[in-house]
C-alpha cells in the first residue's frame, strides 16, 4: 500500500500546497488534466463540497479515500468536480456555418461517402459537456440536408464527466438557456416545453434529434472503441486542460480516426500552431485530414 494512504488524519485537515501538488499529479495521471497553480482555490471549493456531503474529515482523508476506492466511482466524482463544463447552443457559430455550407455539400457530392445507397456522415463531439454542441450540430444537419432519407447520420457525444453525459442524454435544458441560444422557429421545431422536477420551465430536445445521437462516458486518454471513422470531430475548448505533449498526441490520434478529407474543429481560443501534426489548415480553428491520406 502507498505510504501516505495510511497517514493519520489531522484535525482541521486543509488543502495545503504539498497536498495540492499530489492531487495535481494524480489528476494528470488519470485524465491528463493539467491543474494550474491558480486552480488551488477551485479545488478547495469543489472538493470541500464533496467532503461536506460525504462527511469526510478533510482533504487528506478525501484524497486517501479516492485512491483507495477500487470501484473508480470516487475518482469519477472527483473528475466531475474539477471539470469545467461551460458550453452553449450555437457556441462559436462559424463552425456550424462551415458544416452547413461546406462539409455537407462536399459530402453529398463525394461518391466515396456513399455505400448501400446512403451518404454516411459520422460526427464526434469529444468533450461534449451537457450536449448543447452536439444538439446544435444535429439541428444544423437536419436543417441543411434536403433529402434525409438519402443519409445515414450518427453523432457520438462523449465526456469524462458522467454527470454532463447523463444531462446530455436526457436532453432537458433550462428554458433561458435555449431561448438565449436558439432561434424561435428552431425551438418550435426541435424542442418540447416541459417542467423540471423542481418546477423550473425547460425544454426537452425532440426524439427526431435525440435518436441521431449517442452519449457515452469516455476519458479521451483511455482506449477509443470506435468501429468506423468520423467525417467530423468537434474538440472545442477541451485542449485547454492539457499540456502541449498531451495535446499533440490527442490531435494525432484524431487524425487516425478521421476519414480522408474529414474535418477537425477546435475552440476559437485554441490553435495547433505549436503542435506537430499532419492536418491541412483550412481557416482559423478548422483543420482537414488530406483526402489522399489514410
Q: Which residues bind ligand SAM (CB under 6 A)?
A: 31-33, 83-87, 91, 127, 129, 133, 159-161, 164, 219-221, 236-238, 241, 267
CB 197, min distance to ligand SAM, A: 23
CB 198, min distance to ligand SAM, A: 23
Helices 59-68 and 40-53: crossing angle in degrees, nearest 10, is 80
CB 234, min distance to ligand SAM, A: 6
Q: Which is nearer to ligand SAM, 61 or 221 (CB)?
A: 221
Q: Which is nearer to ligand SAM, 20 or 221 (CB)?
A: 221
Q: Which is nearer to ligand SAM, 64 or 125 (CB)?
A: 125
Q: Which is nearer to ligand SAM, 26 or 61 (CB)?
A: 26
249-253, Cβ contacts within 8 angstroms, sequence gap of 24 or more = 250/220, 250/221, 251/275, 251/277, 251/279, 252/277, 252/278, 253/224
CB 272, min distance to ligand SAM, A: 16
CB 237, min distance to ligand SAM, A: 4
CA dist 231 and 151 (Å) reads: 13
Q: Which is nearer to ligand SAM, 29 or 201 (CB)?
A: 29
Amino acid at each position: 500500500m502507498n505510504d501516505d494512504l495510511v497517514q493519520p488524519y489531522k484535525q482541521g485537515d486543509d488543502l495545503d500546497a504539498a497536498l495540492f501538488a499530489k492531487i495535481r499529479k494524480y489528476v494528470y495521471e488519470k485524465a491528463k488534466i493539467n491543474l494550474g497553480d491558480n486552480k488551488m482555490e477551485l479545488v478547495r471549493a469543489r472538493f470541500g463540497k464533496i467532503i461536506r456531503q460525504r462527511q469526510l474529515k478533510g482533504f487528506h482523508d478525501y484524497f486517501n479515500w479516492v485512491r483507495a476506492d477500487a470501484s473508480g466511482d470516487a475518482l469519477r466524482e472527483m473528475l466531475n468536480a474539477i471539470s469545467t463544463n461551460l458550453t452553449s447552443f450555437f457556441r462559436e457559430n462559424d463552425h456550424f456555418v462551415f458544416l452547413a455550407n461546406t462539409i455537407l455539400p462536399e459530402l453529398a457530392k463525394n461518391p466515396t461517402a456513399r455505400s448501400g445507397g446512403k451518404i454516411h456522415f459520422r460526427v464526434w463531439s469529444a468533450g461534449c459537456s451537457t450536449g448543447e454542441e452536439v444538439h446544435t450540430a444535429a439541428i444544423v444537419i437536419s436543417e441543411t440536408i434536403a433529402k434525409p432519407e438519402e443519409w445515414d447520420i450518427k453523432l457520438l457525444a462523449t465526456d469524462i464527466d458522467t454527470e454532463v453525459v447523463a444531462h446530455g442524454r436526457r436532453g432537458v435544458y433550462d428554458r433561458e438557456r435555449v431561448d438565449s441560444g436558439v432561434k424561435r422557429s428552431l425551438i418550435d421545431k426541435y424542442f418540447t416545453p416541459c417542467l423540471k422536477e423542481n418546477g423550473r420551465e425547460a425544454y426537452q430536445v425532440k426524439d427526431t434529434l435525440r435518436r441521431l445521437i449517442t452519449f457515452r462516458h469516455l476519458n479521451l486518454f483511455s482506449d477509443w472503441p470506435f468501429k468506423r471513422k468520423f467525417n467530423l470531430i468537434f474538440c472545442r475548448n477541451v485542449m485547454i486542460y492539457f499540456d502541449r505533449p498531451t495535446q499533440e498526441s490527442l490531435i494525432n490520434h484524431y487524425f487516425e480516426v478521421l476519414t480522408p478529407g474529414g474535418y477537425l474543429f477546435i475552440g476559437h481560443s485554441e490553435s495547433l500552431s505549436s503542435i506537430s501534426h499532419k492536418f491541412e489548415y483550412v481557416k482559423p480553428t478548422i483543420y482537414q485530414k488530406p483526402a489522399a491520406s489514410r
